[in-house]
Structures are given as structure tokens and as C-alpha cells.
Structure 1
Amino acid sequence: MTNDRLFAGIARVLSVRPLAAALALLLTLPLIGVQAQSLRPSSGLRLPSPAASAGVAAASAAGQRQADFIVAVVNSEPITNSEVRTKLARTEQQIIQQGSPLPPRRELVAQVLERLISDKAQLQLARSAGMRVDDNAVEAAVQTVARQNQISVDELRRRLKADGIAYSQFESDLRDELLVSRLRQREVDLRVTVTEQEIDQFLREQEGGTELSSLALNLAQILVAVPENATPGQVAALQAKAQQVMDRARGGADFAALANEFSDSPTRGTGGLMGLREADRYPPLFVESTRSLKVGGLAGPIRSGAGFHILKVIEKRQAGMPGSVITQTHARHILLRLSPKQGETAAMEKLAAFRKRILAGQADFAALARENSEDASAKQGGDLGWANPGMFVPEFEKVMNGLAPNQISEPLVSRFGVHLIQVLERREAQMSQRDQREMARNVLRGKKQEEAYVLWAQEVRGRAYVEYRESPQ
């Protein structure tokens, strides 16, 4: 791998805020106006497994044992050596789990520090703009993280403690992520537009494309982790274990069940699924190993710095474009907007009471939506109609997709209010030309938002006064 490709991969790791994916269900749901289906997509924290997180906990503990000191000051706020060490350990863990080699430590430390400086400058800007995050939004974020990892909040607390992370610090990080994400939504995402000409050009480019750059992959993996200082005997035993799992997968065993039982990857809770993404966003080792495979094909065990990987091709298609058959969801919701008279706490408590009444058979969802929802869909009992994948923003859609038919979500906080969602039914449907154009619009908007965010983040960083003190250790 060239240095350019190596550091591009590092940049992708550093560009993902450590908790941002976890908060995708909660952040900045755009206004649901006259047409609820116009919800705009925008760009889950999975708790690390005990084996994968051991290095982070050890590094964090080692950092605390050292005398701490200031390495940089952003405007008037310091960044300490312990902050850099913690962020560095988590970044190294992410790189290893993705199957990429670690870069020289000096270069990685410099990039981690710059990321912390950028984050600090954005957080300061959000606070200076008077933006705040209610305690209930943080609590909802905690519950979402636990739900994404298929554990209780008590178990989440236990795992954080085992990893050497104070629960108060975890909540503080969640609050900061919510705050900065809301700022980004206001300053960047809502200002991006996509023209019909851009959609036409995108669709023309997608037709007949066979290059790797136009390929999107959805892979699932089972990781048999290998400790950093493993002996040759331990490595051989773990390789044999991975081969046994591979043999069972080839024999027809359910891959998701095998992942849940044997994988040391944070994706084990989702059956090993890593999600549909452009091929260059996967480790090159994964792409090359699965490039010639068809959907359903298996590869492995493959050795990386993290251990032995078993890969399954779940989906292969043109980047960003859906297959001809899609799963549609029919859902409804209740929206309570926030105001000086109705804060997040009151809105969440009100919707939680609605949910309790509905589940007890004491009230009807549609009737409550007609009487209380502050959305144009209220007249239809909150009915959002049939929705295609990508029609709603990811944070809304992920909550919706996690619900079984007739299941009701917990209250969901967004910058536009608090929502209660119920899935009514699902079906398979053929993509229409209109649907394809809408999907193309969402893909283009997401790319333009990411590009705009990079420029905006550079501008915020450039306006900040930064004083470098001692070098991180």
C-alpha cells in the first residue's frame, strides 16, 4: 500500500467522530413539513468486544499513571496529553479492526492532535452560538447506544467501567457529539442542494460502470482476534478455530449466528454486517479477497493485524444505487416541537406517557397523533405512507428499521422536536424510475455534505487561535 493510500485510510478513521455513528439515531432530524416523505438523508456506536477494547483500557490506564500536561491550547481551552493518548489508542484500535496497517506513530499522533483541535474549535463555536443539549437528549442517546449493542443500560455501564471509562465522561462525550452534530446540521447540511442536471449526470455515470471505484459492497465478517503478543502456538490454535468456523459457514450454518457466537468484532451484535459502502471505504485486504466472489460467497480465514477474518458477500452493486427490488416500510409518527413552553423534558415525558397508554390498550396511536402531533401528517393519524430505503434521514430511518411491525419506539429527540414512531408493515417492491432519481439525489446530497463539511471544518479550525505547548508522549 502506498503512503498516500495508507494515510487516506487513516484520515477516514479520524474523520469519523468516535461517537457520531452511535448518535445517528438521535441527531438533527430535518423538518417534516407538508410532505413527510421529504425527510432528507444526511451523513451505531458498537461497543468494542472485551478482547478488542483491552488495548484501549490499558493505554488509558497507563496515560493516567503519567503526570498529565497541556500539549496545546485552542483559544482558551487546553488539550492534555491524556486526551491525546486516549484518542490515539481508540484510533489505533479502529485502524487494526479495519485490517489496515498502523502508520508511523509520530504521524498518527500529529493527526490525532489536529483532530482534537478541530473538534474543540467546533464545540466552542456551538457553545458560543448558544446551542444547548437537554439532559433528556443525553439519556436518550445512552439508551440508543445500549439498544444498538443489544444490551441494557446497566450492562453498558458495566462494560464502560471494565474498559476504564467513567460513565460521567461517557455522558459528557455524548453531549458534545450531539452539540457539534446539531451545529454541523445548521451550518452545513441544510445548505446543500442537488440539481436535476447533477442527477442526470450521476445516473449516466452509473450505467454500465465496472470499475472498482463505482462498486459498492456490503460485507459481513467474523473476526477471531489474535492478541498482540501471541505465541506461535496461540496463533496456530486461533487459526484452526477460524478454519473450523469457516468450515461450518461453508457447510450451510447461519453466518449471523456464527458471528454472534464466535466473532470478536464489534459487529457481532448485527450478525457481522459492516454495511453497504463504496469499495474504497473497506480495507484493501477485504476488497481484494472478495472481488471475484458473487453474492453469498465466502472468503477466509484471512490474516490481518487484528487476527483472522472470515468474510461473506451480502450485496454487490453500483455505488450508491439500490437493487431493482427494495424493502419498503409503512410507518407513522407523532412529533412534538420544542418551544419555551415545552422543553425536551416535558415533550419526552408526554410521548413516553403516550407510548405507555398505547401499549396498555388505553389509547390509539392514530387518535393521539391527530390530537397532538405538530406535523402535517397529523390529519392522517401521523401516517407517513410507504417509504423507500434512504427516503428518511439515517437517524430517523435506523430507529424505524429497528422496529418490528406494530412495535413503537422510545421517544426520539431531534433538533426539530421529539418523535414517537410506529412501524405498521413492510413489503418488497420494484424500484421505479422516480425512486431511482430520489436515491441518486440522496447519494449526491450526502457526498456534497461531506465535501462541504470538510471545508467548513477547515474554516473553523483556521479561525481558531492555537498555541502548541509540549509534544504529546
Structure 2
Amino acid sequence: MKQPIAFLLLAFAIALPAHAQLLTPGTPAASANNGSIDRIVAVVNEDVILQSELDDAVHSVQQQYASQPGQLPPMDVLQKQVLDRLVLMKLQIQKAQDQDIHVSDADIDQAVAGVAQQNKISPEELRAEVEKSGGNFAQFRQQLGDQLMVQRLHQSVIHDSVSITDGEVDNLLSSPTYKAGEIHLSHIQISIPSGADAAAIQASQTKAEQALAAIKGGMDFNAAAIRFSDAPDALDGGDLGWRKMDDIPAGFADTVAAMKPGEVSAALRGPTGFHILKLVDQRQADRQVVTEFHARQILIKPSELVTPAQAEQKARDLYNRIVSKHEDFAALARDNSKDDTTANAGGDMGWFKQQDWGSTIGTQLAGLKDNEVSQPFQSEAGWHVLQRLGSRQSDLTNEIARDQAREAIGNRKAEQVYDDYLRDMRSNAFVNVLVPELRDTDDHSSTGTSP
């Protein structure tokens, strides 16, 4: 259990503390934890990042890589990487607040429950594990809330900026690369600052070449990503996961298509900087054959005039009329069912995949034989009587492929839109790194203000 919780602590370590006090730059603050002096390491617009925040975040990264400490770069490089993520998170939180994006306690409760479920423990056990790992659960909740705010900011930014046409889906499906299955990629990104001059571009290229030389010299790619990459996923080893070929920028597709698993690309120039790609693995797409069911139902809903007990009793009466008296199911559904989508069709639900009508109905279907009528059962909607009319195996490869193609196009567009948004936000922000050793080596300003 410790490993998943440690990973979660890492994932949310880049968020902000619950009550970071706004102080004048350079003014030390008393730490709420032990009363010691807690210096400000960076000013982000009108907010600050404290040394304690940076130390906690670095510690969380070290916890995740406790079994592979060689993956981590030297401490000074790691601190810069973590500080950069803290700055980016701080800026996104500020932007979300400016746009009146809020997260309620109920939202955070739901997120906590989700994290607990993923780890197959209860929320109470999650709290105990967080505290056992040295974390503060109130701060953990706050960090979850910050992540939710950033997620909603992301959704807000891309909502009106990403549209997908049927023509785009058709073009993607007809492209040879799309039919090549899926690829697992990792990457290193060396960004070029917005409005950069020739010297800044050359500095980024030099850094990319240094990263590539380190990999060719034997450095593990994930370790190189942690050390050199400035992408948000750098501390995760630059892992991009499995994706369709067309889910990556078109300018890199030809390069990746010619690579074999384990190979690393040259430093590729993209619209936002230089990229080094590693093809971790690849796999062919399988046929997607699923079981579909044909069924019909009668739904009885409780209401102001019908109590839950009366709804149950009516469902049982209808079941008896169907099974014992052999009355017509369709006629009873038309006269009694309160499901607006199926009642007029005699309760006919058509053909559908098992979970399309929810897990409760799906579970009942799996336990019935063709033409068998279920005992009355309850769902969130009310009381149901269900009859399974048939089942079949359907090849949904093409349908699923269209859905995946649409998703791939959307992901690619959303990634580019949000990356541009972050770059613009960062370039227009006031970021003053007060600790000289934490400034980027290519930042020659006396204040550390971001480009």
C-alpha cells in the first residue's frame, strides 16, 4: 500500500499549501510546523513559494524514487525541476481563481473517495496511510482541490477552442499510420521561451543536444527526462503512455513511424521547442468483438403519489401478470412503464452493450437466459421488470475506431491549445526566483523574472 500512496503524494506535491501567507519578497516567514524561519524562494505574481513547500515537494519525489535513486538528477537540478512545476501550478491556480472557478468540499470528498477506491481502501484508511507517510491530510485535501481547479481550468480553456468534424475523423481513419495500431512513447522537451531571440533558441538547442549525448552515453531515458526536460511530465520520466500514431504532432509522425521499440530520435524542432522521443513499445489494434443484448423493460418510479413500497408492489404485480397469467409484456409496458424512452415501444430497449443502461441492468442481463423475465429489481431510477429477448456477438471495430479517432484528434488539439495557453500565461507572468542557485542557468536577469 505504501507505494501507491507515495505515488499519490508525489502527484499532488506540486500543489499549494492550504494557507500560504502573502509576504513582501525577501521577508522570512515563521513556519507553522515548527516555528523555524521559512524563507521565500520565489514570487509568482502576487503570491509566493516558500522553502518548506519546495522541500516537501522534493521529498515527495525522492519518496517515489526511493527504490531507484539513480533515476534522479543532482539535488540542484531536481530542485529547479520541482520549483518549475510549483510555479506552473501556482499560475494555473491563480488563473482559475481569476475566472471564478471553485471547488466545493463535496467535490473534494468525491475526489478523496475516488483516490481511496483506486487504492482499494476506505477514505479512513487513505487518511491513515497519508499520515503514516508523513503527510498532512488537510493539506492533501487542499492539494486534491487544487488539482480539480486546474482540471476545470483546462476544460474551460479547450471547451470553445477544440472542435472535430466528421471529415477529420474520415481522413484520420484513412491514413496508413492510423491503422498501424498504438505506440508507447516517452519524450524530453526543451522549450523555447515565447519571443526568444537567436541566442535563447541556440541555448535550448544546446541543452537538447546535451540530453541526447547523455542518453547515447548510457544514461537511462527516464533519468534524462527528469534531468533535462521542462515538460510538466518530466518528473514522471517523460512518459506519454499508449496513444495512436495520429495522437502525436503530425511533424513527428514520420520519425516515429520509422523507429523500432527502444530507439531514441534525434532532437526534433517543434513549434514550442526541441523534442527527443523514445519509442518504448508498439502494438497492433485488435478486433473489437463485444456481446450485445436485446431487451425490454417496465419501469415503475416512486413519486409524490406513489411511495417506494407501492412502486415495488406494482412491479411485483406486473411480474406475476407476465409470468403467471401470461399477459402481454409489451401491452403492460405501454400502459404502466414510466420510462419515457421505451414505454411507447412496448418497453423495447433495442440492441445495446451490457453496461449501456447502467451496471444494475447490466448485471441482471448477464444472469438471464434469452426470453427469461427477471424478478423485480431496484435501481436509482425505480423498480424494473426486465426481459432479455436475445444476445449476439457484434464486431464494433469500426465504430470503436471512429470513437478513438475522434478522441485522438481531440486530445492532440487540446494538448496544443493548452500548451500554448500555458506558454502565454508563463511569458506574461512575473516570476522572481529569489534564491540564486535555483535560477535557470540560462536566466541572466538579476531578479529571475521569467521570460
**TM-score normalized by structure 1?**
0.46
The structure showing larger relative contact order (alpha-carbon pairs under 8 Å, at least 6 residues apart) is 1
